[in-house]
Amino acid sequence: MRSSTQGNIHFNLYVPDSYDGTKPYALFVTLPGYQGLHFQGVGINLRTEEFGFVAQDYNRNMIIAAPQLDDWGDTSAKQTIELTEYLLDVYNIDRNKVYGEGYSGGGETMSRVMGMRPELFSAYLQCASQFDGDIEVLAKARTPVRLVVGAHDEYYGAQPSRETYDRLHALYRDQGLTDIQIDRILVLDVRPDSYFSSQDISNQHGRGGHLFANDSDIMGWLFNR
């Protein structure tokens, strides 16, 4: 897609055969890690990550966009926003079922989206990443967020996710929300070493994307809202 303001936006799009525009469908936007960016090869994100495929098991009436952007900064965040707005305009989308997910570098990008236009999304799942966006903007929108990471993630570690959780939790308390209300929109999910070792996985970051995408507790949180 060629944008007059954001340049070329590369993406893969899955539209179910059942879609005819007469009823609203859900929308899922999944952003890949470094290995799935556009310069790594067209469509490589579909071969390195499973989120877009597994998502179909949760909602057959869902359009799935898998952008292939060029970095994990503001440029890609703005392209993600423009693409999302385009899809919301072109397709009949249920605005209460617009889901975002980002793994590794894709999480950095989607977190920036959450710091710019969180109201576009019904919920955001961040996997094995860190939050680089404007937390105060996100807190005002109260878009539900789940931060999933391995306790000893080799790239980011778990501390950035813990700090993001603590900051968001404090902002919500300042807004007057109770702990029960906060728990409905903010989840810190640090997976212990045993979660990985029990599945013969030693690389928490590199293989976390596979495990998280195939974990019904994690993915169900996003889609069964």
How do residues 188-220 score in pLDDT, each as one tens digit? 999 999 999 999 999 998 888 899 999 999 999
Rounded to the nearest 10°, the torsion over CA 11, 12, 14, 20 is: 50
pLDDT per residue rounded down to tens, the chain (225 residues): 766 666 678 789 999 999 999 999 999 999 986 564 655 555 566 556 789 999 999 999 999 999 987 777 799 999 999 999 999 999 999 999 999 999 999 999 999 999 999 999 999 999 999 999 999 999 999 999 999 999 999 989 999 999 999 999 999 999 999 999 999 999 999 999 999 999 999 999 888 889 999 999 999 999 998
The whole-angstrom separation of Cα 31 and Cα 107 is 7
The CATH number covering residue 184 comes to: 3.40.50.1820
**Spacing of C-alpha 65 from chain mean position:** 11
How do residues 24-35 score in pLDDT, each as one tens digit? 999 999 998 656
Which domain, by its residues, includes 205? 2-223
- How many domains are contained in the chain? 1
User: What DSSP state is assigned to residue 94?
Assistant: E
Angle at 127 between CA 123 and CA 130, to 5 degrees: 95
- C-alpha distances in Å from residue 105, one per residue of 30, 41, 51: 12, 16, 15
E-assigned strands of the chain? Answer: 2-3, 7-8, 10-14, 25-31, 62-68, 93-103, 123-127, 145-150, 186-191
pLDDT, position 33: 64
The whole-angstrom separation of Cα 153 and Cα 159 is 10
- C-alpha distances in Å from residue 39, one per residue of 33, 43, 52, 128: 12, 10, 20, 22
